[in-house]
Structure 1
């Protein structure tokens, strides 16, 4: 498998683990000291959150208030330089919210670009740092949830 294929597989595994509600699987996509940041570009680059290390990442993913999620990955560009790489992946991420009071469910949609720094470890390629850049969002009603 080429480095580019392995990096695309890592990005897809991250999305699959988020969508399956597997916080440990998400964290395993990161280097032990990896960093996950969320930046809202629609609000002037506001840093919404930062988690460092697999334990913090696991905790953050396990507390997401949405279930289920649905990440649809788009184009990806990566540049490999030995045992490090950088990349950008486009994504449309759907987040379903079903209120406890039986009111209408809604889909919070994020149009995002992941800015990634990768490191090749003994266990394979992992995220050294992943920044989720939110370009814009929208909320839609959901008819069948």
Structure 2
């Protein structure tokens, strides 16, 4: 694979967009997270690969996406650690791209002890550049696996 030097700035901007989402979620800045989407942006969640199955949920637009994020308030802390990202630019439209980004998300909560719900997530995104700003137009959140671990108190 070769990287087109003219798209390096776009690649950096798209990575920064995904990082802003993770940071905003962990800081519970849900209004800011929703604004990372286009006005008609879509957020949907799937158990595993989304192809051929209905979403667990689907939210469209800033208000619905912000309300969906409120569900994370049941956790004491979340931590979304991003890893590899594969970006594909639309050859017919320089203002469109798609990407798959891997994330290990940790969700800490209390329920007869302290627990960590660890999720292996892939963000399957479509992006649009509007007024020279990249935004998420469609995010399919694919959860590949979940593991619940006890949190041991430091000794």
TM-score by length of 1: 0.91
2:30 to 23, 29, 41: 23
Q: Distance in 1 between matches of 2:13 and 2:114?
A: 36
Deviations 1:92-111 (A, max 9, x none): 00001123xxx201000110
**Partner of 1:71 in structure 2?**
80
Aligned residues: 142
| Partner residue in 1 for 2:109 | 97
Equivalence for 1:9? 16
> How far is the alpha carbon of 1:138 from its aligned partner?
0.2
Structural mapping, 1:1-145, within 5 Å: 2-41=9-48, 45=53, 47-64=55-72, 65-81=74-90, 82-99=94-111, 103-122=112-131, 124-144=133-153
- Tell me the SS of whatever aligns to 2:88: strand
Higher strand share: 1
Is contact 1:40-1:46 (8 Å) kept?
no
In structure 2, C-alpha distance between the alignment counterparts of 1:67 and 1:38, rounded to whole Å: 21
Give me the CA root mean square deviation.
Answer: 2.0
Q: Which stretches of structure 1, 4 residues or more, deviate above 6 A after TM superposition?
A: none
Distance 1:106 1:114 in 2: 24
Q: How far off its partner does 1:143 sit?
A: 2.2
* TM, length-normalised to structure 2: 0.85
Larger radius of gyration: 2
> Once the two structures are superposed, what CA deviation does each residue of 1:86-125 show, in whole Å capped at 9, x if it has no partner?
00000100001123xxx20100011011100000012610
